[in-house]
């Protein structure tokens, strides 16, 4: 290899990791309002993340960032709305990972495909789910919970927000890894499952922090662990299940995607802006109240997160015995 080529090859990894302003490389400017399409009704996790990031990104780019909620069809309505939007780099989809990790595994036919129709932009946030138990369960630590369940095979009921939900699949993955035998009791959302836990209809479940925090403060539930790959900065005293199951990570991921043929400059610019606002004090305060960890990653890191989640959840779906419908 010529010396000139050798130097170029040696410099490539360094240049790849150099965080230059994306818009200076791409020369892309937002010239009108940006749209975030959310495939759920207002008030949910992806909607919250979209609105918090939209506010701060809008301040930086000098344009409004509007939220358009398009629920329905297991993400199909939102995907079609993105596809039918002008391909000028001003429209993005903000969603959780289940649209690409769970839906393709439990529905026989979907009108969208991750690789064909979308381009990752930024992993905006992660939202851990927390393992909570009823006060009557005589345990206070994650390890004690595991031993207690093992001592009572098939005698413990666990609730979830529905079959195929992240709450359900997290518990199935935990059961398999630790050899636990529990009975699943599905409900229609956390609005039903958490009251069932408080009322003692089920002994344990996974749920988001806002659904549990008030009850934990009043000693109506005990929070023992989280399903994220590491402890959350919001609850550093709560251990991650990965501390007893290496590699365990089922935290919900929320990110922004563009259409597959969107301008590369628009993708780079929005990714850079998400990274620039991820530590804004007011953004962190709002996200923290909702139990959400801010991330604001690169497009490449988001693509890796999607792939990793898809692989983990595919195994969990198989463990749960779910078949496409």
Q: Which residues pair with 294 in a beta bridge?
A: 125
Measured between alpha carbons, how far is 154 from 163 in angstroms, rounded to an integer?
Answer: 19
Instruction: Mark which of 243, 263, 294 sits at the end of a domain.
Output: 243
In a domain, 3, yes or no: no
C-alpha 28/C-alpha 45 separation (Å) is 29
What is the rounded average pLDDT of the residues 18-35? Answer: 66
What is the pTM (predicted TM-score) of this model?
A: 0.86
- Domain range for 86: 28-127+251-320
Q: 80 with 213, same domain?
A: no
Q: How far is the CA of 75 from the CAs of 28, 38, 39, 85, 246, in angstroms?
A: 29, 9, 5, 16, 32
Distance CA 325, CA 323 (A): 6
Residue 44 sits in a domain of what CATH number?
A: 3.40.190.150
Same domain, 53 and 95: yes
Joined together, the tokens standing for residue 322 give: 């779910």
Q: CA–CA separation, 287 vs 285, rounded Å?
A: 6
Query: At 239, which CATH number?
Result: 3.40.190.10
Percent of the residues in the chain that have a pLDDT greater than 90, as a whole number: 88
Which of 188, 213, 243 finishes a domain?
243
- The predicted-structure confidence for 118-177, as pLDDT tens digits, reads as follows 999 999 999 999 999 999 999 999 999 999 999 999 999 999 999 999 999 999 999 999
**284 and 295 fall within a common domain:** yes
User: Of 204, 226, 243, which residue constitutes the final position of a domain?
Assistant: 243
Cβ–Cβ under 8 Å, residues 90 and 266: yes
pLDDT digit string (tens) for 198-245?
A: 999 999 999 999 999 999 999 999 999 999 999 998 899 999 999 999
Is 10 part of a structural domain of the chain? no
Would you tell me how many other CB atoms lie within 10 Å of the CB of residue 319? 14
What is the average pLDDT across 280-304?
96
């Amino acid at each position: 290899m010529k010396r000139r080529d050798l130097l170029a090859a040696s410099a490539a990894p360094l240049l790849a990791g150099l965080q230059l302003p994306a818009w200076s490389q791409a020369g892309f400017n937002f010239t009108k309002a940006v749209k975030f399409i959310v495939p759920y009704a207002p008030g949910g996790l992806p909607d919250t993340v979209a609105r918090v990031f939209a506010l701060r990104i809008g301040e930086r780019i000098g344009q409004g960032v509007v939220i358009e909620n398009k629920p329905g069809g297991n993400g199909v309505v939102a995907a079609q709305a993105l596809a039918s939007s002008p391909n000028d780099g001003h429209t993005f989809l903000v969603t959780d990972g289940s649209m690409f990790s769970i839906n393709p595994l439990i529905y026989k036919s979907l009108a969208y495909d991750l690789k064909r129709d979308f381009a990752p932009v930024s992993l905006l946030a992660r939202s851990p789910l927390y393992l909570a138990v009823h006060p009557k369960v005589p345990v206070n630590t994650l390890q004690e919970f595991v031993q207690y369940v093992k001592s009572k095979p098939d005698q413990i009921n666990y609730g979830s927000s529905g079959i195929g939900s992240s709450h359900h699949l997290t518990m199935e993955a935990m059961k398999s890894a630790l050899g636990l035998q529990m009975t699943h009791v599905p409900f229609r959302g956390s609005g039903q499952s958490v009251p069932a836990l408080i009322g003692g209809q089920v002994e344990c479940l996974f749920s988001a922090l806002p659904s549990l925090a008030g009850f934990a403060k009043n000693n109506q539930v005990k929070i023992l662990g989280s399903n994220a790959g590491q402890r959350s900065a919001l609850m550093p005293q709560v251990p991650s299940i990965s501390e007893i199951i290496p590699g365990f990570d089922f935290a919900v991921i929320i990110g922004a995607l563009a259409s597959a043929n969107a301008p590369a400059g628009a993708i780079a610019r929005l990714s850079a802006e998400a990274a620039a606002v991820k530590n804004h004090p007011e953004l962190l305060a709002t996200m923290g109240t909702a139990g959400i960890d801010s991330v604001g990653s690169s497009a490449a890191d988001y693509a890796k997160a999607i792939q990793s989640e898809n692989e983990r959840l595919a195994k969990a779906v198989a463990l749960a015995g779910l078949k496409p419908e």
